[in-house]
Structure formats: C-alpha cells, structure tokens
Amino acid sequence: MNIEHFLSTTISKVINELFELSSNPSDIILQKTKKEFEGDFTLVTFPYIKAAKATPEKTGELIGEQLIKSNPSITKFNVVKGFLNFSLSNDFWLNEFKDISKTDNYGIKAAKSSGKQMMLEYSSPNTNKPLHLGHVRNNLLGYSVATIMKTQGHDVIKVNLVNDRGIHICKSMIAWKLFGNGETPQSSGLKGDHLVGKYYVIFDKEYKKEIQTLIDGGATKEDAEKQAPIMLQTQEMLLKWEASDKETIDLWKTMNGWVYDGFAVSYKKLGVDFDKMYYESNTYLLGKEVVQEGLAKGVFYKKENGSVAIDLTEDKLDEKIVLRSDGTSVYITQDMGTAIERFKEFPAISQMIYTVGNEQDYHFKVLFKILEKLGYAWAKECYHLSYGMVELPEGKMKSREGTVVDADDLMDGMVATAKETTEELGKVEGFTQDELETLYQTIGMGALKYFILKVDPKKKMLFDPKESIDFNGHTGPFIQYTHARIKSILRKFEGKANEIVIANNIILHEKEKELIKLQYDFAKILEESANTYNPAVVANYIYELTKLFNQFYNECPVLKEENNTIKEFRITLIDKTSEIIKNGMLCLGIDVPERM
C-alpha cells in the first residue's frame, strides 16, 4: 500500500468536512514524525487555521479527533505547536509487513520498464597514467547511480569516454622513447598503465631539470618552459600524431594497448563495467560542423581575429570560444559534437548524465546552454553529476609528481587490511583458504566502496582507510557483518522463512514496528536516490536499517522466543531485513557475505 496516498486521501476528506474546504489529496503535505515525538506521520496545521478560525494547536486537535473517529487505522494523536503527530494501529503495520514480506525484491521496480532510456558517462581516464583515488570515486559514483536508476525500471547505457590523445599522452610516449630502453609490461613485471604512468612522472622530472638548466643559463622561466628540448620534442610528436605518422601512431597504439590491459584489471577489481567505450581520438574532430551550423543560425559569431565564439552574458555566463583563430577546436567543441552524435546513435535516450568532478561545473553549464541555443530539446535534460575532490589525511594528490594514491595499491591495501582486521577479531574459523580470500576481498572492497558512497557526491571528502574498515563504525564491514549475522540466525531456524504464514493476532514490539516502518521506506529511498543522483541516500538508509536491526535483536529474542507464532513472525521480519540490506548494498556495487 502507498501509505502516504491513503493518509492524504483520508485527511483531505476530514479537512473538507470539518472546514468546508475543497482540498485534494495532492494538497496534503505529510512527513515522518521526528524521533523525539510520538507518532508515525505529521501534518502541519498552519494552512488550515484560517478556515478553522482557531489556533494551530486547536486546529490540530479538531483534525486529530475527527481522524480517530473516521478511521480505525489511526489510533492516537498529539499536537506540538501546530504540528499534528498521529499513530497508525498495530494491525495496520502488521498488514503492511505482510504485503512487504510477500513482495520479492521489495522496492525495486526493475521488472517493470519505466519506458525511459538514459546514457550515463563515467570514468573518463587519461591513458598517460593509472587510475587513482579520484577515479575510484568517479567510477563508484557512476556505476552505483546507474544501478539505482535501473531499480526504477530505467534503461541505462553506461559509457566511458577515454582521453587517449593530446599533449599529455605524448609526454609519456616521448619519455619512453628517450629513457625506456624498450621496456614493456612483460619485461618489467609492471601493469601496463603503471608502466606508462612511470614515464609520465619521468617526463615531468626531466622537463623540470631542463627548465632549471635554461634558467641557470640566463633564460626567463617563461622562455625556459617553452624552449626545454623535451617539450619541443613532445610538441613535434603531437604534430606527427595528427599527421598520422606511422611510427608515432604505432607507438601510440602499443602504449595505449598496455594501458587498456591495465585498466581492465582495475575495473574488474573495482567491480564496474561499461556498455560502450568512446575514444577521444575518434571524437576530437566532432563539433566543427556544428560550429558552422551555429554560425549560419546566428548562435555563434566570428571575432576579428578569426576565432568563433558565443556570448552567454545574458545567461549569467561569459563569452566562450568554440573555435580558435587557427581553426582548431577546443574541448567544448568536441563535447558538443560527441553529445549530438550520441543522441543520433541512440535516438531513444532522453537524458545524458556526465559524472565529472566539480572543477568542471562551469564547463557543463556552458555546454548545456550552447546545445540548448542550437535547438536541441534534449539539452535541458542533460545533467552534470558533479562531485567533490577526495583527499587523504596527508593532503592533495598530484599525478605529475607521482604523489597520487594509485587505485590498484589502494584496493590491494584495503583487502590486506580486511585480512588483518578479520584475523585479529578471530572471525576466520570454519573457512577454507579460498573462502577466506573471497571474504577478505568482499570486506576490503565493501569498506572502500561504502566509505566513499556514504558521502553526498557534492561534498569534498577525506578518505581514511583505517576508519573505513571498523567493524563497529558507520562502515561497510559493520553492515556486512550484520547481514551475515542475520543469515546465521536463519540457517539455525528449522524451516523456510518464505513459507511462514504470519498470524493476525501478533502485538508488535516497538522495535518490530520501527523495523517495519523503515522497511516500508526502502521503495521511497530508492526513488529519492535515483531522482537526486545520490547513492549516499541508499548508503545511509542501509546503515540506519542495520543499526535498528541490532537494537531489535538486543530487545527481541528470535530463536529463543518461546511463543512459536512470535518466533516465526520475527524470522520473516529479519529475513526481509537481510534481503533489503543485500539489495541496498548491491545498489552500491557491494557484495554482502552469507558468513563472517
């Protein structure tokens, strides 16, 4: 049952009868009663005091008294400063749980298509370095939002645009040519992306040395940066790449191939995947024709120096160059062309979502506004899934200086910490070695994913590996352990939870009622998370459900309960709790073990 709809209809009828109004159920605004007050739902009475010709408190009492008279499901009420808090009956919540318990994968609408198709872009790495902690947040965020969208019945196409060209790629290539001595992933034992990243760092160190040499010889810093031999060689290599020089293209394909093999390993560890890959080397020329069309329509204009721009000052943005005076495109030109091509390739998509850090907020405002002015109706549905930077207790990371937190090292470290912590707590009895390795992987990656996804994407976050793996904190392992604990109880029960018929005469314990109320919220939580592109909504809900289960279990015996009717009810209650925990965590890309 949709409880809010039932209550809105009931309250609307009562208000209309009491005060001779003509309100609709959609006009009724309800909220969950705050924990410090008694009640299940709260109605604000202020909109009705004029019609009632009474104080907010008296208005609330009039509505409350009439609700109890007109509907047996509403048992009591209280009024606090114009807020009417009312409680629903024992039987109401018991029947609600019966409906929840009979619903497979309660809250998930994936079996029924919404008819909406969307494309979600995430990851977007550069092929000059391995994935780092910032990429981890990007990938986890994009993947989980896609998964949550699917629970609403949406068809989601997950895509990755790989930045595989440009001056930064040539930096790794030129450093390898100069200092690599033919080194390969096979000869070095390094993952391909790590090997290429090593030469990106080498380039930066060599470049700085050459700059200093030139400055010592009397050059200005600005001139030294332009004249450093390694930078001139890199610029020449980029021109050769753009001219399709065979030797340059062959090296580019070889080194990018190493990187892709490395990325594949990292993505598998991280548990993310993509439906389609795009490559900047194939898309960087897109958009030039769009600029010409925009000029013809008067959307863009040509400046005196020959460059092409758009004036967005009336939209509270600035002037934006879309084509340089030499005819070359800028990033936004490519993004315009790529977006248009995607909508041509997938005409059914109604929305494009870009998972990119908040340093690009302005870029996407400009991109969407340009596409809108070019006449693309879908531009208003484009969305920038912006997120804050990830920092460590030591501070920010820098790729060129080799001070980033490598994603592979981070993941391996989390699994190692999970092993160490699990062994310290003595939670390893009865497992084979293979089962233990799987368990450490599940706990370590669960800790990493949950710690990152429980934070609102828009917020900058501090990642503390040690804190993330605390079995008693607001963490993935705490939730995983609770799920395993429930499964252990269910295994000891002699029977099948899904075959139990719930009796009608059960008087709910307060913690049982709270669990049912929170279970009911799961469907709304998934919907809210999808509508706000925010996995933290699901993550924090699952934590609250897990905490509440532990409170319930401390106060309400299950297997030791002597009344068989109550015992069986509690078995179905915790069985549904474990299912919601599991499905909620899967929305975050996190596995939960059956045993711990």
pLDDT in tens, 461-502: 998 888 898 888 999 999 999 999 999 999 999 888 888 999
pLDDT for residue 94 is more than 50: yes
User: Which residues touch 242 (CB under 8 Å, ≥6 apart)?
Assistant: none
pLDDT one-digit tens code per residue, 309-319: 999 999 999 99
pLDDT for residue 23 is more than 90: no
pLDDT for residue 540 is more than 80: yes
Tell me, letter by letter, the H, E, C secondary structure of 6-68: HHHHHHHHHHHHHHCCCCCHHHCCEEECCCCCCCCEEEECHHHHHHHCCCHHHHHHHHHHHHH
pLDDT for residue 444 is more than 90: yes
pLDDT one-digit tens code per residue, 363-377: 999 999 999 999 999
pLDDT of residue 430: 84
How do beta strands 155-162 and 117-121 pair?
A: parallel
Mean pLDDT score, 245-268: 98
pLDDT of residue 399: 44
The first and second tokens of residue 4, run together, are 């809010």
How do beta strands 301-302 and 155-162 pair?
A: unpaired
Q: What's the Cα-to-Cα distance from 105 to each of 27, 93, 114, rounded to whole Å?
A: 31, 19, 17
E strands, 314-399, in order: 319-323, 349-357, 383-387, 390-391
pLDDT for residue 227 is more than 90: yes
Residues 561 and 207: their CA atoms lie apart, in Å, by: 73
Confidence of residue 328 (pLDDT cuts 50, 70, 90): confident
Longest Cα pair distance anywhere in the chain, in angstroms?
94
Q: Which domains does the chain have, with CATH numbers?
A: 3-88 (3.30.1360.70), 186-271 (no CATH), 419-587 (1.10.730.10)
pLDDT of residue 394: 66
Of residues 354 and 464, more confidence is placed in: 354
pLDDT of residue 400: 45
pLDDT one-digit tens code per residue, 32-68: 999 999 999 999 999 999 999 999 999 999 999 999 9
In this structure, which amino acid lies at residue 423? Answer: E
CB 107 within 8 A of CB 580: yes
pLDDT one-digit tens code per residue, 375-405: 999 999 999 999 999 887 765 544 444 457 8
Distance of CA 218 to the CA centre of its chain: 52
Residues 216 and 227: their CA atoms lie apart, in Å, by: 13
Mean pLDDT over all residues of the chain? 94
CB 159 within 8 A of CB 186: no
pTM of the model: 0.93
pLDDT for residue 16 is more than 80: yes
pLDDT of residue 395: 54
Element (H, E) at 139: helix 133-151
pLDDT for residue 450 is more than 80: yes
CB 489 within 8 A of CB 469: no
pLDDT of residue 231: 97
